[in-house]
Structure formats: structure tokens, C-alpha cells
Amino acid sequence: MPAPTTLIARDFTEFRTAVSQSFVPLHVTAGGDGFRGRIRSSVADDVQVSEVTASPHVVERTPELIARGERRYYKLSLILAGTGLLVQDDRQAVLRPGDVALYDTHRPYSLVFEEDFRTLVMMFPQRLIDLPAELVGRLTAVRMSGKEGVGNVVVPFLAQLGGNLEQLAGPAGARLAHSAVDLLSTLFATELDLARANADPHHELMRRIRAHIDANLHSADLTPARIAAEHFISTRHLHGLFQEQGTTVSGWIRTRRLEHCRRDLLDPVHAGRPVAAIAARWGFVDAAHFSRVFKTAFGRAPSEVRRELTVSVR
């Protein structure tokens, strides 16, 4: 895995270039003279963690810049010093030290920093969050506190990860990255539970269905009919629930299985396990079919991903 990088900008022009190179293309404007900025970054399995320290400026993700790329990412900012304002989806979140907020790079957003600040930024593919995108979209530009509830567990972990970026470049990097994303999924699910538990009669049912699917990904009998029967609903009702959240039952199962396979292929614990055995562990009984759908999903064959692990543990 690549070692952590540090970009030190001596003026605004250098910083503007560094921001777009480090994340996604962005429009950056500075607030005054004497600009200084630094970006420290490390990446493990498409999860990038960066610590940004800079003078006041504004960052904008415009429709024109969005049109240039196809990959969909979430970004999460954890304010470590100073303050920031995040605007997306007609919502605004004022962020102070210990606060986190989520934003989607596939929709316009802006970040405003009116004073010197330091922030941790995590950027990762949307497929890594094990919640429907339609639900996660309700949390963009929503302030989440790191000083209470689940946030009081998640935020210290993220802050420690940001202070030890070299660990992401080591053999345990993929596990640490996935742990961070899993913790964020838990935080998001908790926030959604608080917001929707009384408002949506389907919310608890979908939570149980998703948990059932994750617990039975290994089973060849994980079919819509079986899932519906386990939850005492019709297959038609099951399909309708997933359609409401912008996906399908089979698509959700396939995505979850593929993600678990990808994680195992990058995990040193499973370095001696054949690719076919990993595929079978997560419900792919046909090795050739698995290889095709894996490459379609991730752009690389399973064997290529396994080679990344071989290189990182040398």
C-alpha cells in the first residue's frame, strides 16, 4: 500500500491544486493574503483519510465538476480545530471541534472556513456503506456530535486514525479502513433510527431484513421468497420495500456479498485461502460467475486484488 503523503502549500495556488489532486475536482477560493495549507493523506482499499490544516477559504463542488467523473464517493469531515460550514441538499451544518458531517461528491456542495482550521476528511466509495443510498442521502449536511451517544465512540477512533496515518499504509491498513467505515455505518444507522423510528412504519422491518441478509450471505438459499417467508410478508411486499429505497433484493444481496469478498481478499488473515474458497464463503458457488461479477463491480479481477495484499505484506 502507498505510504502517507504530505503536501505543503506555500501559497493559495499550490493549495488549490493540491485540494483537487487529493480529493475530487473542486473550485477553491481564498479569503485573503498569506495563505498557508497542508494536506496529509493515506489510502487503504479506496478509503482515503486526510488531515487538512489551512487558512480561511471556500470549497465548492459544482455541477460542471461533477459531470467530469463517474465514481460516487461520500466524504466525511471531522472538525479538529476552528469551525466550518457545510451546505448540501438545502441543508446547512455549522461544525465545531468534535462535530462530523457527511456529504456526497455526486451532488453540489460547499464548505466555508472563515478562520484557520484543522479537519480530518474521510473519502470512500458509496458502496462501502451498508445502508441504502436513499437513506444515507438524508444525512448530508447534518451535524453529528462526537461528544454524545455513538458519536462519542466513533469520533475518537477517527481522530486516532488521522493521527496515525502510517498505520493505513501497513498490512493492517485495509482492516483499519473497513473498521472506520463500519463505525460510520453504525453512526449513520443510529442517526436514521432516531429520526425515523416513529415516522416510518417500514423502518424497523427493513432494519431486520438487512440484518437477516447480512447474517445469511453464505447461504445458497438466500432468495427473495425465503427472506419474505422469514419475515412473514409476501415476496411482492419485499420487492416493494427495496424499490422504495432505490435498489432491488438481489442487487442488495450481490453488493453485500461482493464487498465481503473484497475485504477478505485484502485481509492478511485470509492470505492463504484460495480465491474460490473466499467466494464460496460468501455465497458464490460458481467461481467463473464470481470472477465476472467481481470485475464488473470493481474494475479488477479477484486475482488482481489478491496481488495487492501480497505486495502489502512483503
DSSP per residue, 153-201: HHHHHHHHHHHTGGGGGSTTHHHHHHHHHHHHHHHHHHHHHHHHTTT-T
Q: Please state, as a whole number, how many other Cβ atoms lie within 10 Å of the Cβ of residue 124.
A: 22
Beta bridge partners of 123: 48, 75
Taking only the tens place, the pLDDT of each residue in 91-109 is: 999 999 999 999 999 999 9
Residue scoring higher pLDDT (194 or 38): 38
For the chain, give every residue range classified as CATH 2.60.120.10: 5-198
H helical segments located in 74-164: 133-136, 151-163
Taking only the tens place, the pLDDT of each residue in 40-64 is: 999 998 899 999 999 999 999 999 9
For 16, 168, 229, the CA distances from 259, given in Å and listed in that order, are 34, 19, 26
**What fold is seen in the domain 201-312?**
Arc Repressor Mutant, subunit A (1.10.10)
Query: What's the pTM value of the predicted model, to 2 decimals?
Result: 0.78
What whole-number distance in Å separates Cα of residue 286 and Cα of residue 289?
5
pLDDT at 250: 94
Residue scoring higher pLDDT (213 or 1): 213
Do 224 and 250 form a contact (C-beta atoms < 8 A)?
A: yes
Q: Is 234 helix (H, G, I), strand (E, B) or coil?
A: coil
- pLDDT band of residue 195 (cuts 50, 70, 90) is low
Taking only the tens place, the pLDDT of each residue in 146-184 is: 999 999 999 999 999 999 999 988 888 889 999 999 999
Taking only the tens place, the pLDDT of each residue in 262-283 is: 999 988 888 889 999 999 999 9
What whole-number distance in Å separates Cα of residue 25 and Cα of residue 65?
6
* CB neighbour list of residue 51: distance below 8 Å, 6 or more residues apart: 39, 40, 41, 80, 118, 119, 120, 121, 162, 163, 165
For the chain, give every residue range classified as CATH 1.10.10.60: 201-312
With both helix axes pointing from N to C terminus, report the angle between 235-244 and 203-215 in degrees, rounded to the nearest 10: 100
Residue scoring higher pLDDT (62 or 244): 62
**What fold is seen in the domain 5-198?**
Jelly Rolls (2.60.120)
Give all strands of the β-sheet with 109-113 in edge-to-edge order: 27-30, 57-61, 109-113, 84-88, 91-95
